[in-house]
Amino acid sequence: MKISVSKNKLQYAVSRAERMTGKNLSLPILSTILLLASDDVLKVRSTNLDIGIEFEVPVKMKKEGIIAVPGNLLNNLLSYINEDDIVLEEEKGNLSVKTRKNNSLIKGFPYEDFPTLPVVSAEKTSPFPVQTLLNGLKSVWYSASTSDIKPEISSVFISLNPEYSTFVATDSFRLSEKKIQSQGNKEDLSILVPLRNVAEIIRVFEDKNGDVMIRSDKNQISFHYDGVYLTSRLIDGVFPDYKQIIPKTSTTDAVVLKQDLVNALKVSHLFADKFNQVVLTIDPSAKQFTIASKNADIGEHSVSLDAALSGEPVTLRFNQRYLADCLQSVASDSVSLQCNGEARPVVVRNVGDRSFTALVMPLNT
């Protein structure tokens, strides 16, 4: 193999691929990145057997070839090089990386052991707007469970139908749902994408526009975008029937400015105890909406906000982070909170539409 390639384009691909190499696995080849040069294209491939990716980087080719090199070494090396032209050349199973000033040799691995990426068997592919996908994932993914005990909730549930694209995540203490009107999806699809892979999908497609081609079967999903092929394992399970727990009525309603609430939560976080506990008091008859927190070692704080209130008075205790997390997905300037008394979840929505819904369970008193 002998190619010359733009450093920025190579680094773009390698830095993203490096994240998907297998860490602490018994099989060393998985910690490598496979470089495959043919037809004026360099394929940069990596996988940890849970998610896999292949980038195509345009290169000037002198000789075809394949080589596997340690991902983090190559990535680190590239981040220190600040010249634009790089020449990659295979020398007896090792990779020489040359620029005008730098000259390095990286020990290669036997590339025959590098696994192929699974191909999704479904014959149907469908285009899907990348930004809708990212918007949906980013609106909910923080709610997913980070523990591996229940794989079906340590993932984001994606359901596509001709009317809506719905994204849902929950860790059973809070839940977020984002509904986006479809612009002519043709497919019907319900899948569970593992949380860890959601993070990578977001990272890879963040700077993209247009449509990504999605193909999925029961166990595997793949995303195909100009020069990028990403494939992820899916969770074979059933997402809890969450719709039935979204309260249909409420006993206390409040509408506050989102930024006010975000700031109030940030301040009260300074004084919160180790459980991040904040106390929300709503008293419509006294026109009161206060957030208070207290820590025996630090001190205490309370702040009241201007709010439009109705219903019964209520006092609820929350994990500050759970409330603050979901506010980042509220699109409107004001946010609506609907409570149903203690021990029932509070519903957080945009004012005026139902495209985003978050449920947060209060702390037990």
Partner 1 sequence: MPEQEHNISDTKQLWDAALADIERAVSRANFTTWFKNTSIVKEADGVVYLGVPNGFVKEWLQNKYHKFILKSLRMISENIRGIDYIVISKTEQQKPGFAESAPQLYGELPLKDLYINKDDNLNPRYTFDTFVVGPFNELAYTATQAIMKSVGSVYNPLFVYGGTGLGKTHLLQATGNKIKEMYGDKKVFYITSEKFYLDLITSVQANKINVFKEKYRKYDVFIMDDIQFLSGKQGTQDELFHLFNTLYDNNKQIIFSSDKHYNFIGNLEERLKSRFGAGMIVDISDPDFESRVAILKTKSRHINFSPSDEIIEYIASNIKGSIRELEGLLNALVCQAQLKNRDLALLEVKTLLKNNEKPRKTLSVEDIVHVVSEFYNIEKSTIYEKTRKKEIVKPRQIIMYILREDLSISFPTIGQRLGGRDHTTVIHSCDKIKNDLKKDTVLVDELERIRSLFAQQQ
**Shortest gap between Cβ of 236 and partner 1 (angstroms)?**
3
User: Which residue type, as a one-letter code, is found at position 82?
Assistant: N
Decide: 233 and 50 in contact? Cβ < 8 Å: yes
* H or E element that contains 126: strand 126-129
**Shortest gap between Cβ of 103 and partner 1 (angstroms)?**
32
Q: Tokens standing for 62?
A: 């002198």
**Shortest gap between Cβ of 239 and partner 1 (angstroms)?**
8
Our CB check for partner 1 shows the closer of 187 and 211 to be: 187
Tell me the Ramachandran region of residue 28: left when phi exceeds 0, alpha when psi lies from -120 to 50, beta otherwise.
alpha
**Shortest gap between Cβ of 129 and partner 1 (angstroms)?**
25
User: How far apart are alpha carbons 334 and 348 in whole angstroms?
Assistant: 11
Our CB check for partner 1 shows the closer of 52 and 284 to be: 52
Decide: 6 and 84 in contact? Cβ < 8 Å: yes
Our CB check for partner 1 shows the closer of 82 and 365 to be: 365
Our CB check for partner 1 shows the closer of 52 and 108 to be: 52
Q: Tokens standing for 67?
A: 């080589």
The residue among 277, 266, 362 whose CA lies nearest residue 315 is: 362
* DSSP state, residue 261: H
Our CB check for partner 1 shows the closer of 71 and 362 to be: 362
Tokens 């609506």 sit on residue: 336
Tokens 């993914």 sit on residue: 141
Our CB check for partner 1 shows the closer of 164 and 173 to be: 173
Relative to beta strand 164-170, strand 155-160 is antiparallel
User: How far apart are alpha carbons 277 and 341 in whole angstroms?
Assistant: 18
**Shortest gap between Cβ of 7 and partner 1 (angstroms)?**
31
Our CB check for partner 1 shows the closer of 108 and 362 to be: 362
**Shortest gap between Cβ of 276 and partner 1 (angstroms)?**
11
Point out which residues bind partner 1 (CB under 8 A).
Answer: 25-28, 30, 47, 49-50, 52, 113, 115-120, 148-149, 151-152, 170, 172-175, 190, 218-220, 231, 233, 235-238, 240-242, 244-245, 275, 319, 343, 345, 359, 361-364
User: How far apart are alpha carbons 363 and 31 in whole angstroms?
Assistant: 42
Our CB check for partner 1 shows the closer of 209 and 365 to be: 365
**Shortest gap between Cβ of 13 and partner 1 (angstroms)?**
20
Our CB check for partner 1 shows the closer of 116 and 146 to be: 116
Decide: 312 and 344 in contact? Cβ < 8 Å: no
User: How far apart are alpha carbons 163 and 124 in whole angstroms?
Assistant: 19
**Shortest gap between Cβ of 151 and partner 1 (angstroms)?**
6
Using H for helix, E for strand and C for coil, what is the string for 26-74?
CCHHHHEEEEEEECCEEEEEEECCCEEEEEEEECEEEECEEEEEEHHHH
**Shortest gap between Cβ of 58 and partner 1 (angstroms)?**
27
Cα angle 172, 303, 363; round to 5: 20
